[in-house]
Structure 1
């Protein structure tokens, strides 16, 4: 290794007139784990875990080289970088969604109005299904009374009566599935608007404070 006391300019080879100048040698220097100042014309192995300076022949700092990482350390750094990027992306997406919410619902009244409309649409559809279910139940009750005459052997019932009875039961099953889906939609809508409201309240407060 070279010592700092060595004249840096002596590392440069004198050139005869007309010759192409050789590139200036790179001089690496660092303080190792024992506090010693080391110098070399190549990266210093004893300082691979710490910063090294690259000097110009004049002794000024040309560049700095960070620690050389092991494969495990590099993997950890890469994983942290990915996690940091994912977190920044999440925060930015959350802010974008907040801005969109404020544009769509500038005040509580706007949010409550859309909530009521969404629930009303589903409730009206549900009421239609309930009305149809009531009608079908009445039809089935009548058909059940007619089928009672053939209780001992339902296969002897007229084909048209059997067909009507099956159709009514199938229609009731369809309405039952519709009603279950409407109930699920109502829950989803309420959950969505409740979640939005929890996000919007602090946003509305921030806007109100900025105006005040």
Structure 2
């Protein structure tokens, strides 16, 4: 008997609490709806449970289907990824401004980077000239065996083969350095275009 009375009292209290709450929302047509219980027309959007004094006691999130939840989660992930990309871009921009506070600093580093590659290219060209001179000497020695090249000594043949391999190697290396020079120049061009925007954005703040 006592247990039944307690349960009945609990149900009565819960009912009174529910009666003291007002649910409100704005439906898909823009109508403001209020009710003493959760509103079925607003299951797809937030609802607020308010007390008798008008204060918000609880914000009830939308009740989504599984497909709707998946779409919402996908949208949230996309937004989070976008925010992460923007944050990373801001970080890179700050680092770029710290490294290159002015056009003069950027141009100086550009020239230094390209000069280093030019030095390598000059060394390759010098090596090619040396190999070309060596090839002339080898060809001169082969003149003695012009009538019958098969009689040329093995060491001379190896010397000629090695010269050809070295020439081919230098040509490939030179082509790689030329491509590297273009890549570095392009990187500095892209950086400069970005930096010009960042420097311009700083001008009002520095005035």
TM-score over 0.5 for the pair: yes
Aligned to 1:165: 160
Pair 1:60–1:88, CA change in 2 (3 A): closer
Q: Indicate conservation of the 8 Å contact 1:53/1:61, yes or no.
A: yes
208 and 56 in structure 1: CA distance in 2 versus 1, 3 angstrom threshold: closer
Alignment partner, residue 3 of structure 2: none
Higher helix share: 2
Contact kept? 1:30, 1:51, Cα under 8 Å? no
RMSD of the alignment, in Å?
3.2
How many residues are treated as equivalent by the alignment? 194
Q: Where does residue 104 of structure 1 map in the other structure?
A: 99
In the TM superposition, residue 174 of structure 1 has moved relative to its aligned partner by 1.4
Structure-1 residue corresponding to 2:132:
137
Q: Deviations over 1:59-97 (max 9, x none)?
A: 965312122112221111111111111111111111111
Distance in 1 (alpha carbons) for counterparts of 2:75 and 2:132: 63
State which of 171, 174, 178 in structure 2 corresponds to 1:179: 174
Partner Cα distance (1:198, 1:33) in 2: 46
Match of 2:67 in 1: 72
Match among 120, 124, 129 for residue 125 of structure 1: 120
The structure-2 alpha-carbon separation of the partners of 1:51 and 1:201, relative to structure 1 and needing over 3 Å to count, comes to: closer
Q: Is it true that 1:193 corresponds to 2:188 in the alignment?
A: yes
3-state SS of paired residue (1:129): helix
Kept in 2, the 8 Å contact 1:147–1:154? The answer is: yes
Stretches of structure 1 that go unaligned for 5 or more consecutive residues are 1-11, 16-20
Task: Measure, in 2, the Cα distance between the counterparts of 1:210 and 1:50.
Answer: 42
What is aligned with 1:210? 205
TM-score normalized with structure 2 length: 0.78
CA distance in 1 between counterparts of 2:162 and 2:44 reads: 80
Unpaired segments ≥5 residues, structure 2: 1-6
1:88 aligns with 2:88: no
Q: Label 1:163 to 1:29 Cα distance change in 2 as closer, same or farther (>3 A).
A: same
Mapped pair 1:49 → 2:47:
no
CA–CA distance in structure 2, aligned partners of residues 201 and 115 of structure 1: 15
SS in 2 for 1:85: helix
Q: Structure 2 vs 1, CA of residues 33 and 164 (structure 1 numbering), >3 Å: closer, same or farther?
A: closer
CA–CA distance in structure 2, aligned partners of residues 149 and 24 of structure 1? 116
Moved more, 63-72 or 137-146: 137-146
Residue number among 114, 120, 142 corresponding to 1:147 in the alignment: 142
- Between the aligned partners of 1:22 and 1:164, the Cα distance in structure 2 is 107
Distance 1:54 1:195, change over 3 A: same
